[in-house]
């Protein structure tokens, strides 16, 4: 297995573990978790699901991998595969969709029940800037990493926009994907962040539609994130909060175990912060620090492993 294959597989694996780690405590405020922090893979809690249950974040990443592996990249097929998840329980842990965001549901309802193309289905309003596209963009960033920046970001934006079409969401997925791409070749994480943010500013600064949204990302783009205290980091379901919190955890910790535990223990949108931080950590640090029983406890473990391995092989061979 070559390095690229290993990095791709580790990134996806740790992201899914981060999801399952966060599911039992989703929505729990930080002050409650600070009294009784998550230290292990738990079961039940918020959604009353057994240990190792992952949520919508992983379902949509698995759908993305499956669609991208079908052959030629096809945005409509990706939209339809997401619909199979939310309406037919495809790629769910046990045949039941227990967690889905409103913006995502409405967009997929437009595709399935109103005949919309996946190019025009996403919510465009200010309130459509939850983290519902950021939580699932990782496989797309890995799959298209060899493309030139223009094409790379076009792909990321159109995949993001299936559900979340507001420019703020496009930028959030763009910054995260650029960082993922840089981390495939740069081992110094601060340097990777500098490169990714410089590329993001150059690209998004050219277009007035994007430029007016850039101030929302000022704490990331100005490289302030690592200097902030935990009290300054929010962890709600807002895309800016998730991206800031994930990068903050990733920069603060030097292994995947501590990164995803710290992401989950920030509270509120624990599973998605776990996924987004987990993708970064798994890519750079691998999954050696993740206890084997955490990985083995994942629902549909063998099927996930098989899909991840096929996807990683494809990404490395492209
Ligand atoms: Mg979730």
pLDDT of 233-285, one tens digit each? 999 999 999 999 999 999 999 999 999 999 999 999 999 999 999 999 999 99
Please, which residues have CB less than 5 A from ligand 1, an ion? 55-57, 99, 271
Terminal alpha carbon distance of the chain: 14
Tell me the sheet residues that pair with 123: 164
Q: Which of 29-43, 80-94, 238-252, 300-314 has the lowest mean pLDDT?
A: 29-43
What is the Cα–Cα distance from 229 to 96, expressed in whole angstroms? 38
Strand spans (E) along 96-210: none
Q: What is the pTM of this model?
A: 0.98
Q: How far is the CA of 228 from the centre of ligand 1 (A)?
A: 26
- Tokens matching residue 40: 């292990």
Cα 140 to Cα 5, 144, 235, 263: the distances in Å are: 15, 6, 23, 22
Q: How far is the CA of 68 from the centre of ligand 1 (A)?
A: 22
Are the C-beta atoms of residues 67 and 78 closer than 8 Å to each other?
Answer: yes
The second-level CATH assignment, the architecture, of 3-317 is Orthogonal Bundle (1.10)
What is the Cα–Cα distance from 178 to 157, expressed in whole angstroms? 12
Residue with tokens 């519902």: 132
The domain ranges of the chain are 3-317
Model confidence at 91, pLDDT cuts 50, 70, 90, reads: very high
Q: How far is the CA of 12 from the centre of ligand 1 (A)?
A: 15
What is the Cα–Cα distance from 90 to 106, expressed in whole angstroms? 18
| Residue 288 falls in which region: left (phi positive, over 0), alpha (psi -120 to 50) or beta | alpha
């Amino acid at each position: 297995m070559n390095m690229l294959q290993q990095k791709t597989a580790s990134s996806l694996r740790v992201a899914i573990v981060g999801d399952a780690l966060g599911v039992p405590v989703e929505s729990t405020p930080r002050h409650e978790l600070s009294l009784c922090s998550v230290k292990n893979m738990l079961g039940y809690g918020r959604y009353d699901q057994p240990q190792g249950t992952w949520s919508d974040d992983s379902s949509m990443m698995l759908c993305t991998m499956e669609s991208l592996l079908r052959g030629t990249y096809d945005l409509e097929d990706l939209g339809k595969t997401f619909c199979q998840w939310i309406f037919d329980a495809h790629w769910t842990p046990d045949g039941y969709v227990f967690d889905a965001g409103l913006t995502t549901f409405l967009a997929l309802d437009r595709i399935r029940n109103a005949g919309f193309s996946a190019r025009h289905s996403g919510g465009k309003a200010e309130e459509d800037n939850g983290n519902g596209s950021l939580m699932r963009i990782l496989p797309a960033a890995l799959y298209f990493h060899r493309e030139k920046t223009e094409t790379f970001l076009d792909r990321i934006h159109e995949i993001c926009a299936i559900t979340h079409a507001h420019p703020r969401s496009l930028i959030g997925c763009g910054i995260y994907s650029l960082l993922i791409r840089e981390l495939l070749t740069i081992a110094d994480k601060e340097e990777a962040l500098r490169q990714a943010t410089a590329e993001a500013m150059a690209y998004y600064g050219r277009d007035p539609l994007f430029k007016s949204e850039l101030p929302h990302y000022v704490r990331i783009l100005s490289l302030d994130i690592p200097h902030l205290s935990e009290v300054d980091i929010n962890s709600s379901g807002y895309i800016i909060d998730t991206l800031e919190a994930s990068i903050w955890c990733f920069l603060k910790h030097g292994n995947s175990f501590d990164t995803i535990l710290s992401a989950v223990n920030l509270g509120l949108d624990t599973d998605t912060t776990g996924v987004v931080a987990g993708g970064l950590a798994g890519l750079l640090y691998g999954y050696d620090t993740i206890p084997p029983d955490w990985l083995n406890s994942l629902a549909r473990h063998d099927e996930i492993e098989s899909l991840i391995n096929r996807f990683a092989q494809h990404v490395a061979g492209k």
